[in-house]
Amino acid sequence: MQRERALPKYVLITPARNEEKFIERLIHSVTAQSVLPVKWVIVNDGSSDATARIVSRYLAKHEWIELLNLPSHRDRSFAAKVFAVNAGLERVRDLDYEVVGNLDSDVSFDPDYLEFLMGKFQEDPDLGVAGTIFEEEGYSSGRDSFEGQSHVPGRLPAFQA
């Protein structure tokens, strides 16, 4: 009799800059998940709005959430996002996890979404990366993205560590 593999342990990294309009909705989505992450690092990338203040309200209740504040900078670029993700990865470096998710700060999803995504890694131990298509306000990352289906779609690509 073959024993079923457990769902992989995962961490989330969320770079966030001036996301006060969306970050609380995201926090509610993640904290309601049927399978919670080992750690979720929200990297406040020099926000000038209430992003850090909103996240801070949830830290005491959810010890697995960490807020990492980076200094303010002028540019908003893809490179800045990479630096924010790398700073978040540094915070989880010594933890025991199998999958890391790079979660955008302006999304929300159903309470079983991360269980579903981790289930894909459970089903296929050789799977290196996974994601799903998000459809919001008429935009489909699978249909409207210039890469089409040749990339990992969505606002939460997850990678096997």
In tens, the pLDDT along 41-61 reads 999 999 999 999 999 999 999
Q: Is residue 105 part of a domain?
A: yes
Q: Is residue 57 part of a domain?
A: yes
Q: Is residue 5 part of a domain?
A: no
Is the distance from CB of 72 to CB of 46 less than 8 angstroms? Answer: yes
Q: Looking at per-residue confidence, does 1 or 107 come out higher?
A: 107
pLDDT at 138 > cutoff 70:
no
Token look-up 């008429």 returns 138
pLDDT at 152 > cutoff 60:
no
Q: Is residue 4 part of a domain?
A: no
Residue 146 binned pLDDT confidence (cut-offs 50, 70, 90) = very low
Q: Which domain holds residue 103?
A: 10-160
For position 114, what pLDDT does the model report?
A: 93
Question: Residue 123: enclosing H or E segment and its boundaries?
Answer: helix 113-123
Across the range 76-105, mean pLDDT stands at: 90
Q: Is residue 133 part of a domain?
A: yes
- What percent of the chain shows pLDDT beyond 70? 79
User: How far is residue 127's CA from residue 159's CA, in Å, rounded to a whole number?
Assistant: 9
Q: Is residue 44 part of a domain?
A: yes
For position 95, what pLDDT does the model report?
A: 98
Residue 132 binned pLDDT confidence (cut-offs 50, 70, 90) = confident
pLDDT at 111 > cutoff 80:
yes
Q: Which two tokens stand for residue 125?
A: 């131990």
Q: Is residue 118 part of a domain?
A: yes
- What percent of the chain shows pLDDT beyond 90? 62
Is the distance from CB of 23 to CB of 54 less than 8 angstroms? Answer: yes
Q: What does pTM read for this prediction?
A: 0.84
User: How far is residue 143's CA from residue 123's CA, in Å, rounded to a whole number?
Assistant: 26
Left, alpha or beta for 108 (phi > 0: left; psi -120 to 50: alpha)? beta
Q: Is residue 3 part of a domain?
A: no
Domain count within the chain? 1
For position 39, what pLDDT does the model report?
A: 98
Across the range 71-89, mean pLDDT stands at: 81
Question: Residue 19's domain is classified under what CATH number?
Answer: 3.90.550.10
